[in-house]
Amino acid sequence: MTRYLEDIEIGETREYGAYTITESDLVAFAKRYDPQPFHVDRDAARETPPGHLIASGWQTACIAMRLAVLEGYLRDVAIVTGVGIDALRWTESVYPGDTLTVREEMLDKRPSESDPSRGVLRIEITVVTADDREVLTMEWIDLVKRRPGAADE
């Protein structure tokens, strides 16, 4: 079922995903995209401020994206394109072995001023671990299709 802007209720929530981040997965990502010592080498990480190997915050955000595409609103809402992200905060570290789950909440929606066939949707995304630590919060902004004819109603 394709959900248009009109089909989304502000305040609706869902929770999904169980992505376990292994040490090798964590290190491979960081070597490519965030090669800081506390992300790429278990021994070097001991000498750094975190004192432990931790995941790149970018990888945590990317895992949230994967889960939203496969199991969340990006699977059923009629997205035109991603617009951006506001207020992203890395609130706690992610460690090898952590299992990540996404909580999404529909925050706001409004018709586009420039194109009546579209609207802007704002979604709060929170990433939590299996032991219920909130590791990342952010607001995603997407351009979404309105139901055909909705602008004329």
- Site of interaction with a second copy (CB under 8 A): 32-36, 49-50, 56-58, 61-63, 65-66, 69-70, 74, 80-90, 138
Q: Which residue lies nearer to a second copy by CB, 18 or 33?
A: 33
Least distance (Å) from a second copy to the CB of residue 54? 10
Q: How far apart are CA 105 and CA 136, in angstroms?
A: 14
Q: Measured from the CB of residue 6, what is the shortest distance to a second copy in angstroms?
A: 19
Least CB distance to a second copy at residue 21 (A): 12
Nearer to a second copy, 79 or 150 (CB): 79
List the structure tokens of 88: 């992203």
Of 65 and 150, nearer to a second copy (C-beta) is 65
